[in-house]
């Protein structure tokens, strides 16, 4: 809600009082536009930063503290009235005081308003006024929590491709393997261990998982993300590729990132007002600013609206800093007594502050004569999706190691690949010439494919060789027969079965059929 809308919704007496406080002359109009015109005058006055500072000059320390909390807490989404009063009493140690008396002065100045959310009242600052006030409050906060960038050295090599690579490998694993799940809905241990290795899960206690099924944190996040977006689905007690997987793979990589970020924010942040506040502080930080996490936590002493801050440090570390680092939004530095963070260009794009930076994925792989393919971890995800279809991953590191084999090529051909498409892909993306023995082997393996084929057929049995010969010569029955095998047996295509039974009946042969089949045949004839 904008300031003018909040002002128009006030009773006329309150609006007049606010205008009088700022010395704004009331409009001379006799029609029904009085409140609208006066609200426009007050709004125009208050949205000038200098005028807001003047309005704040008369506020005492507790009122400034309350205004800052309502402006910043929860990312500016507002503070429940009871929680606000309780926090103010806690900070001032005046436990029996009526907290409304502190907020009353802010309401009288048109700086804070109330709205109803469900059965609760919420204090809030209108969005355009919040922008003016937040600039004032946040600049002071950043001065207190900022660190000299010269002391910043990221703890890990920045792996910008990690979340995209891991989603791609997770889906590819389900494409190639039968991922069985228990009645409780969790994967069997073998598949879980395979995926933990593929997505480079750190060794962590399962108690750190915030999902109902007991998976390690990263696996839980990626798996539940994939399920929520129909990238994978549970069918017949197995996890399989979902209906949206192919469409997802064709979307821009920036959309992959944004969707992952939005899901994380919805899952971990929206139900936690303290993490909302901290995320907002990180999002609004000036470009290239290095922030102290311990400094931000100290600021939360005056900004947290939770009754208890128990566990906030752990939630900030696991659900905020670690996840933002994994998603590519933060670089993190661990100092002796603190954790330092800096927003990356990808992070600023995720926050909607800047256009997406150009991401330079690798496009080359290195195929070796020993049938191994060395693949950089920063390979373009769609290229990785293709490689993982016809080769088996055997090592996960900065350079992924894949192995080509007869079994892996055969499995790829079951999913629509051909030896020619596999060989062409390797030739197009191999940084070095494709070894001749690798090319030859792929062709040879492909020659074996399809030499044996299964057909879904039914065997028709005759009581004599003469009857079988007679059926093979009948012009009305012969079209439904495939081949005679043995003196008294004829192979019938299962799809032609109903038509064959009807044709035999019309010709007076009266074939013996099962009761369920007879009913279906009679219905088809009718």
C-alpha separations of 417 from 374, 404, 408, 424 in Å = 21, 14, 11, 11
Question: Largest alpha-carbon pair distance within the chain?
Answer: 114
Strand, coil or helix: 474: coil
Q: Provide the 10 A C-beta neighbour count for residue 368.
A: 15
Q: What is the pLDDT of residue 523?
A: 46
Query: What is the distance of C-alpha 507 from the center of its chain?
Result: 63
User: Which pLDDT value is given to residue 93?
Assistant: 67
> Residue 249: what pLDDT?
92
Q: Return the DSSP state at 285.
A: S
What are the phi and psi torsion angles at 109 (to 5°)? -90, 0
End-to-end distance of the chain based on CA atoms, in angstroms? 67
Dihedral sign, Cα of residue 374, residue 378, residue 381, residue 383: negative
* Domain ranges across the chain: 3-145, 148-359, 366-448, 457-525
Which helix (H) or strand (E) is 500 found in, with range? helix 497-506
Torsion angles phi and psi, residue 248, rounded to 5: -60, -45
- Mean pLDDT, the chain cut into blocks of 10 residues (526 residues total): 87 87 79 80 88 84 86 81 80 64 85 86 88 87 88 78 94 89 83 89 55 74 93 88 91 94 90 88 90 90 70 85 92 86 93 91 93 93 93 91 89 82 90 90 76 77 89 89 88 86 86 64 45
What is the assigned CATH class of domain 3-145?
A: mainly alpha
29, with CB counted inside 10 A (0-12, 13-18, 19+), is: exposed
Give pLDDT, residue 525. 43
Does the pTM surpass 0.85? The reply is no
Whether 109 and 18 have beta carbons less than 8 Å apart is answered as yes
Burial class (CB in 10 A: 0-12, 13-18, 19+), 468: buried
Q: For residue 4, count other CB atoms closer than 10 A to its CB.
A: 20
| Alpha-helical runs (H) found in 27-155 | 34-46, 49-57, 61-72, 81-92, 100-108, 127-145
273-284 and 127-145 are packed helices; what angle lies between their axes, rounded to 10 degrees?
A: 80
């Amino acid at each position: 809600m904008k300031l003018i809308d909040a002002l128009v919704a006030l009773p006329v007496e309150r609006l007049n009082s606010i205008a009088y406080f700022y010395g704004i002359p009331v409009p001379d109009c006799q029609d029904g536009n009085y409140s609208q015109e006066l609200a426009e005058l007050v709004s125009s006055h208050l949205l000038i930063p200098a005028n807001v500072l003047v309005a704040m000059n008369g506020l005492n320390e507790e009122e400034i503290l309350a205004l800052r909390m309502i402006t910043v807490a929860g990312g500016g989404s507002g503070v429940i009235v009871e929680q606000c009063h309780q926090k103010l009493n806690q900070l001032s140690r005046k436990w029996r005081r009526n907290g409304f008396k502190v907020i009353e002065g802010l309401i009288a100045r048109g700086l804070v308003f109330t709205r109803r959310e469900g059965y609760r009242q919420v204090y809030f600052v209108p969005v355009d006024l919040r922008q003016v006030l937040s600039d004032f409050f946040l600049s002071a906060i950043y001065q207190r929590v900022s660190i000299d960038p010269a002391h910043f050295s990221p703890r890990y090599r920045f792996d910008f491709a990690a979340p995209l690579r891991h989603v791609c490998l997770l889906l590819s694993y389900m494409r190639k393997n039968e991922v069985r799940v228990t009645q409780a809905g969790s994967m069997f241990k073998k598949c879980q261990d395979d995926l933990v290795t593929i997505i480079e899960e750190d060794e962590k206690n399962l108690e750190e998982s915030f999902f109902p099924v007991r998976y390690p944190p990263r696996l839980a996040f990626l798996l539940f993300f994939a399920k929520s977006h129909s990238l994978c689905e549970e069918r017949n007690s197995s996890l399989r590729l979902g209906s949206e997987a192919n469409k997802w793979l064709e979307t821009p990589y920036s959309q992959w990132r944004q969707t992952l970020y939005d899901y994380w924010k919805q899952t971990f942040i929206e139900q936690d007002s303290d993490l909302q506040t901290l995320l907002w502080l990180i999002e609004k930080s000036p470009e290239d600013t290095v922030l102290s996490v311990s400094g931000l936590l100290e600021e939360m002493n005056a900004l947290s609206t939770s009754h208890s801050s128990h566990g906030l440090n752990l939630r900030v570390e696991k659900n905020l800093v670690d996840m933002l680092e994994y998603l590519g939004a933060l670089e993190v530095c661990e100092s002796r007594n603190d954790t330092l963070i800096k927003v990356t260009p990808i992070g600023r794009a995720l926050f909607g502050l800047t256009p997406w930076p150009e991401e330079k994925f690798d496009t080359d792989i290195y195929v070796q004569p020993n049938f191994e393919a060395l693949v950089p971890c920063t390979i373009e995800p769609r290229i990785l999706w293709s490689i993982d279809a016809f080769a088996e991953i055997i090592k996960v590191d900065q350079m992924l190691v894949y192995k080509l084999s007869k079994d892996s090529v055969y499995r790829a051909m079951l999913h629509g690949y051909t030896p020619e498409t596999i060989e062409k892909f390797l030739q197009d993306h191999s940084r070095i010439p494709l070894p001749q023995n690798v090319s030859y082997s792929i062709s040879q393996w492909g020659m074996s494919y399809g030499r044996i084929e299964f057909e879904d057929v039914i065997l028709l049995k005759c009581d004599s060789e003469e009857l079988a010969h007679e059926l093979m010569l009948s012009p009305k029955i012969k079209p439904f027969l495939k081949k005679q095998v043995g003196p008294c047996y004829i192979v019938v295509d299962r799809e032609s079965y109903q038509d064959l039974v009807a044709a035999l009946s019309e010709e007076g042969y009266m074939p013996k059929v099962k009761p369920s089949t007879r009913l279906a045949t009679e219905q088809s004839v009718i």
